[in-house]
Amino acid sequence: MTTTRELLKEAYRLIRRDQPELARDILRPILEDEPENAHAWWLLAYSVDDPHEVREALTKVLEIDPGYTNADKAREMLAALEGVEADKRGIDVMFGWEMIKVHKDSVGQKIATFRNVDSGETTERVFNHTCINPDSEP
């Protein structure tokens, strides 16, 4: 019989291999049986594409275990999602800006620096990309 821990490790490996749909097939039944499993919610956040589902999963991690190993990263990701949502609402549209550099912050997240082509003002934003890998194994 396969343990939850073994299933979580397999889901992690599938996410790392860019097979999130297979990881979801493992994670969803675990969450049905163990809705308070913070590790499963953390991995689910990396296996779904819908920002609302990502937000829900990260929020569940923090509700279940505010001191979770990756709690700070979860909070940063939630804050970044808020920024993405603001962008979608047109509050922070980047027209008239050029990307001048990309660097990693202290937790390894990519940050892009933009410069306004008219005023020269600069700003930094989380640089979203399609390849997301969890920081650590469950």
Please indicate, yes or no, whether residues 100 and 72 belong to a single structural domain of this protein.
Answer: no
| Tens digit of each residue's pLDDT (9 = 90 or more) over 59-117 | 999 999 999 999 998 988 888 877 655 444 443 444 566 667 777 788 877 787 777 77
Per residue, the 3-state secondary structure of the chain, as one string, reads CCCHHHHHHHHHHHHHCCCHHHHHHHHHHHHHHCCCCHHHHHHHHHHCCCHHHHHHHHHHHHHHCCCCCCHHHHHHHHHHHHHHHHHHCCCCCCCCEEEEEEEECCCCCEEEEEEECCCCCEEEEECCCCCCCCCCCC
Please indicate, yes or no, whether residues 9 and 77 belong to a single structural domain of this protein.
Answer: yes
For residue 133, is it within any domain?
no
Both tokens of residue 84? 């993405």
Please indicate, yes or no, whether residues 9 and 52 belong to a single structural domain of this protein.
Answer: yes
Please indicate, yes or no, whether residues 51 and 103 belong to a single structural domain of this protein.
Answer: no
pLDDT at position 132: 39
Beta bridge partners of 111: 103, 126
| Tens digit of each residue's pLDDT (9 = 90 or more) over 36-58 | 999 999 999 999 988 889 999 99
For residue 84, is it within any domain?
yes
Q: Residue 6 contacts by C-beta under 8 Å, 6 or more apart in sequence?
A: none
pTM over 0.75: no
Please indicate, yes or no, whether residues 61 and 117 belong to a single structural domain of this protein.
Answer: no
Domain that holds residue 119: 94-127
Cα–Cα separations (whole angstroms), residue 128 to 39, 51, 110, 125: 23, 12, 8, 9
What does R_g of the chain's alpha carbons equal in angstroms?
17
Please indicate, yes or no, whether residues 21 and 81 belong to a single structural domain of this protein.
Answer: yes
Both tokens of residue 27? 């994670």
Please indicate, yes or no, whether residues 56 and 104 belong to a single structural domain of this protein.
Answer: no
What's the CA dihedral at 56, 60, 66, 67 to 10 degrees?
-100
Q: Which residue has the higher pLDDT, 96 or 28?
A: 28
Please indicate, yes or no, whether residues 9 and 30 belong to a single structural domain of this protein.
Answer: yes
Query: Which residue type does 35 have?
Result: P
Tell me the pLDDT of the chain averaged across its residues: 81
The total domain count for the chain is 2
